[in-house]
Each structure stands twice: as C-alpha cells, then as structure tokens.
Structure 1
Amino acid sequence: MVTFFEASLDKISVHHVGNQSQDELYALSEAPLELKDDVIPGLLMQYFLKPFEKSNEVYHLMHSSDDLALNEVHHFATMAFEDESKFHEASEQIAKHLYKVSTHPNIKGGELYVAYFNRVQIEGNPLDAIGIFKSENKETYLKVYPDKGGFVVDYEQEAININKLDKGVLIFNIEKENGYKVVVLDKTTGGQDAAVYWKDEFLQLKVRNDSFNRTNNTMGIYKNFVTQKLDDEFEMSKADKIDLLNRSMKYFKEKETFDLDEFAEEVISNPEAITSFKNFKNQYEEEFGYPIGDSFEISDNAVKKQARVYKSVLKLDKNFHIYIHGDNKLIEKGFDDDKSMNYYKVYFKEEA
C-alpha cells in the first residue's frame, strides 16, 4: 500500500514525447518546472500519487540479460537518487528512452512528468521516490465566473483531469540491487499491442514474489484450471465447477497460510484431479519462470481482488441466473425428453 500524507514534491520536470512512427518528435524543457505557490504542488500530488493508494502489486525493474545496468530506467533513476543535481538530466534521458520505445502506431503522444518526492510511504516505510507519469488524454472544461452583475461561461480545451492519470510509475529508493521497489499504473488505450510498451518495453518489470503475488497467481491458476483444463480430462457440470471455485475461495478466506497438499485434499479431493492441478501449476511456473512454491502466507488483499472475478453464477440461456453459494448437492441436473431441454432441480427449505 502506498500513502503520501507526509510526502512532499521536491522537483518536477516536464517534457513532451510524441510517437516516432507517426513522425512526431519529442520536446525537452530546459530546466525543472518552477512551482510558484503551494496550490499547484498539492494538485500535482493528488494527480500523481492518489491513484497508487490501492496499489498492492509491487514490481522490480529488470533486464532480460540479468544485468540491471542495462535497464535504462534503473540507470537514470539511480543517477537522480545518488546525485539530485543530475535530476533534470536524468529526466531528459528518461524522456528520450520513452520516445525510443514509442513505436506502435496506436501509442498516443503526451506530456511526460518526472518528479522527485520525499517521504512517500510504501508498506509503512517513508522513502524518497521518483515518479514518471504520462498524460495522453485531454478533456474540455467549462469555466463559469461572475462578470458585470451576471456570469460568463467560458471553456478550456486540451485540459488535464487530475482525477484521471493515464500512466504512471513510482520507483522507491530501496532494494537498488534487486531493481528497486516499483508500483505501476497503466490505463491502457490503443489496444493490447500498444499497451505492452509501458510495462514491458519502457520499464521492463518483473513481479515481486511476495505473499500478495503468490496468493493472486495461485488463485488465478486454480481458476483457469477449473474453467479451462478440467473439461479436457473430466466430465463436469458448470454447477460442479462453481462449487470447486466456491470451496477454493472459502479456503483462502479462512486460512492464514496456503499449503498445496492441504488445499488439494480439502478443495479438490479427487486424486486424479489433484495430480492434474499440480502439473498445471508446475507448467505455469516453468513457462513464466515464476516459482510460486507450495507454501506461503495468504494475502487478504489478493483474496479480495480475486473475489471480484471468481464467478458463482450459473447462466441458463437468457432466462435465468442461479447464484450458487453453498452445497452443490442441493442442485441436480437432468434432461426432459418431452421438451428436449436440460433442467436443474433446486432444493431449499425457505423462500426469502
């Protein structure tokens, strides 16, 4: 979690980065932005930092060669952290690097803000942080003000909504050798092909292997296993699949620690399905080079995040939705020969 109630904005440089595939250029400012009053810094702090308050996923900067020195953002962030007099120079180099990777035709040009913050907290630790933010989408705002006993309505085009940050990253001055602690925001526009450039090409991130990401990934793997893999090996109704998902959600909500063997016995039960799930999990770890492990502390925040995408709804044509929250033995599936239609029989004691 990121908080900024003690934070201050120390420096900020603003540049413009276009899309080179569209023959757009970049424009660099000559010096950091001069902040003339206390209002603008406060607004900028809200614009830049508030979107990160609910960030739980922590990343590290990395490079495919395992040589962090080749990661441009890590190199220029280190330059600024170690010598604040080089902050503006580092911001210029960051803008040039972003321009270099902005080659997909759907990437929008926009202003790039590079900021130096003091005492931004991550996981309760107040640290210096470098923020890199890009505004791509502009809006039109109406302005109403009194004039000569009445009012005048005016407007401003190409203005920035401070409640809608398009892209941003905070790099915290800690764990330099591991690629710093990093949190990122990316509200994608321009399609998936254009989206990868911020996280994958500009920043080059890897997920930190902490309890949040282990919990989040294990729950995601299990959900994919139930919804996509089980049909290849077993005949299961959708009600049975929903029951498996509900049982897994109950496990993660009630337990403090995940244990793979315990989870398999309590949730899956079937020996053949248990073996299939373990193999499915191992394949994920090998494919993505991400060893989750068989035991870890469960993150409540990750469980809450996954709860939003775990489905307990059985959709029947366009006529009925059945919400299954408990014992799947109280719902039976059959086929009516006279109507040539499937049916579900539901048992209950009281009608609410």
Structure 2
Amino acid sequence: MITFSQATLSELSIHRIGNKLQDEFYVLSDQSMHLEDEMLKQLLLQYFLSPYEKVNEIYRFMHPNNDLNLNTVYHFAAEIFADGGVFHDNSKKLATYLFEISNHPKIKSGELYVAYFENVQIEGDLHDAIGIFKSETKESYLTVYPEQGGFGLKYEQEAININKLDKGCLIFNTDAAEGYKIAVIDQTNRSAEAVYWKDEFLKLKVRNDNYSQTQNVLGVYKAFVTEKLDEDFEISRTDKIDLLNKSMKYFKEKETFDMDEFANEVIANKEGIESFKSYKKNYEEEFDSPIADNFDISDAAVKKQAKAYKNILKLDKNFHIYIHGNKDLIEKGFDDDRSMNFYKVYFRDEQ
C-alpha cells in the first residue's frame, strides 16, 4: 500500500520533548537540518518509512466539532503543504503542542522529528508527505574496529535503533477536504498512556470508506490465492488464474459486496471458503484492519486493483499465455518423448 522506492527526504527538523508532568521541558532547534551525507539520508528513509510498508489501515484527521481547522496537527500540516517556507516554524509549533498534551506521568521523553518527503507512494499514486516521528526507546551499541594489529571495542549508549520506530505518522498531501490520508505507527498502542499519540495529539478516525474496503478485500483475496492456497490444496496455476479472474469479474459486475455471496460464487468450494474466511480473519487480527461483510463496491478501487491482478501464465522464457475466460479451453499435459510439459489451447478464431 505504501512504498518509498522513489521517495526523497527534502527537509528535517529535530526537537526534544520532555514530560510536562515530570517537570521536564522541551528544546526547539533554531533551524532545520541540512543533510549532505547520502548514506545518512538513506538510513533516515529506512528508519522513518520502512515500517509503513506493512501498514494497511488509513486514517483521516477529525475534530469533534466537525471543523477540520480546529484539529491542530491538520492546521499546521495544511500550512506546510501550502507554503514550504513555514516548515520549520510549524515543526516547532507541533513540538510545543505535543508537549502541552503529554499529560500522563508515564509518557517517555524523546526526540521529535518532523520531515518533509517527496514522491512517497500510497495506493498507487505518488504524493508529498509530512512525517511526524517520536523516538522514545534508546539502546546501547558496540563497535569493533582495527587497532594495533588487533581490534578495539567501544560502545555508545542512548543510541537509536533504526529498525525500531516508536511512534510516527505520515500525512499525505491528498484528500485535504476529507482530512488527508494518514498512516500511523505506534509500537506502544496497547498501554494506557500511549493513546495520547493517536487520539489526543493527532485526533484520527479510520478511513472506513468503500474504497478502502474494496481494496482490502481484493488485496486479501489475491494474497490468499497466490500465497495460501498451495498450503491447503493441490491447485494448478491455471486454476489460480481462474479464481482471480472470477473475483475481478464479481467486483466489476456487482454494485455491492456480500461476503457469503462472493465466497459461494467465486470460490464455490466448502473447504476453500472456510480456508479463505480463516485467512481473512488472521489478516484482520494481524494488521488490526477489520473488513466488513457488506459494503458498496468502489469502481475506482477495482480499477486500481485490476492492474495488480495477474492473469498471465509464463512458460519458461518462450511463451506468455493470457487467460481471460474459460479455463476449460486450456489443458496441461506431459510429453514423454521430450520430457517436457505442454499446454493445449482450444479456440474458434485467430485474430
């Protein structure tokens, strides 16, 4: 859903946020950082963005009064998107605001990073994005280095593990009127003191619209067919393509999705249906992303997902067979004389 292979880090500001109830303070930087080291930029991209590759739930900003401009983070983000010149000043305002709402004694102090990215991909489209990240967990690291015919050893305390992002959000510059598209990371979201990040600081609601529901079902079903079915059943490549074609046909022809109807029409096998429903349930639990059993189908989501559905049968490096319809018109066999597999294809007209 979110990829960063084309992303660049354009600007970064770092501040330190203490715990207000512990009589700690905040420290604001005078200016944003100027990053010249390309390796450091790549490490920061990995630290900030790689955790989002497994994020599937998308949120939007909200406010109880239904006025988005009263959402503080939305307000400052919108100003940054409108005028990049206010980036650093607004990053300081975001840091001050986070300090003011950190009203739990167990909230950890840490560095706050506010970053501006270009060309981050979400749902197939490239957008600029504002990242807000907080680093709370520090670790110790050992470094080994050559020294006088042997090796020396030193350590660094209070260092950051770039593979463990504590808290973060990505605000994508799209759908501003609806509250933007937002992806969230919170590795401590099960503790009572941690709700301040998503609920009090960001004030988010799940984007549980027809687009996301349609996309999630198609994505889960595709993964089920291509990755899971082989574990439970003996199934040919042509049968897999047929199952994918049937699912896409269902979504293109129907106006509403019904889980039982979909399972009976597309999978049409009791054991297969139970396996799919179990796979769907595991997905919902792993990604904390519930999928409704009934919803209106989004044509835009179907069109986008159709690009990712593969109906190509690749045979060595010689042939590609595109299967769009009746799989019974293609038969697989084995030629003993040549010790090779073959496919027999039936058709009426050559075009």
| TM-score, normalization by structure 1 | 0.63
The answer as to 2:188 corresponding to 1:188 is: yes
The answer as to 2:300 corresponding to 1:295 is: no
Structure 1 counterpart of 2:258: 259
Matches within 5 A, 1:140-179: 140-179=140-179
Q: CA RMSD in A?
A: 3.1
The answer to whether the 8 A contact 2:213-2:295 is kept is no
Structure 1 residue 37 displacement after superposition: 1.4
Structure 1 counterpart of 2:139, one-letter code: E
CA distance in 1, matches of 2:57, 2:211: 7
> 2:54 is paired with a residue of what secondary structure?
coil
Matches within 5 A, 1:326-345: none
CA distance in 2, matches of 1:101, 1:215: 36
Structure 2 counterpart of 1:12: 12
Structure 1 residue 293 displacement after superposition: 8.6
Structure 1 counterpart of 2:22: 22
Structure 1 residue 12 displacement after superposition: 0.1
Matches within 5 A, 1:27-176: 27-176=27-176
Matches within 5 A, 1:210-289: 210-211=209-210, 214=213, 258-259=257-258, 262=261
Range 203-212 or range 179-188, more displaced: 203-212
CA distance in 2, matches of 1:60, 1:206: 5
Q: Which runs of 5+ in 2 are unaligned?
A: 218-245, 252-256, 266-289, 303-351
> 2:86 is paired with a residue of what secondary structure?
helix
Structure 1 residue 101 displacement after superposition: 1.4
Cα distance per residue 1:275-305 (max 9 Å; x no partner): xxxxxxxxxxxxxxx9x694344999xxxxx
The answer to whether the 8 A contact 1:56-1:212 is kept is no
The answer to whether the 8 A contact 1:259-1:294 is kept is yes
CA distance in 2, matches of 1:173, 1:51: 19
The answer as to 2:199 corresponding to 1:200 is: yes
Cα distance per residue 1:257-286 (max 9 Å; x no partner): 6327848999xxxxxxxxxxxxxxxxxxxx
> 2:55 is paired with a residue of what secondary structure?
coil
Structure 1 counterpart of 2:115, one-letter code: A
Cα distance per residue 1:139-162 (max 9 Å; x no partner): 000000001111101000000000
Q: Which runs of 5+ in 1 are unaligned?
A: 219-253, 267-289, 301-352
Range 93-102 or range 209-218, more displaced: 209-218
> 2:24 is paired with a residue of what secondary structure?
coil
> 2:126 is paired with a residue of what secondary structure?
strand
> 1:34 is paired with a residue of what secondary structure?
coil
Structure 2 counterpart of 1:52, one-letter code: Y
Cα distance per residue 1:191-232 (max 9 Å; x no partner): 5311211111010111112357647999xxxxxxxxxxxxxx
> 1:92 is paired with a residue of what secondary structure?
helix
Change (3 A) 1:51 1:217: closer
The sequence identity of aligned pairs, in percent, is 55
Q: What is the number of equivalent residue pairs in this alignment?
A: 244
Structure 2 counterpart of 1:188, one-letter code: T
The answer to whether the 8 A contact 2:210-2:295 is kept is no
Range 256-265 or range 84-93, more displaced: 256-265
> 2:185 is paired with a residue of what secondary structure?
strand
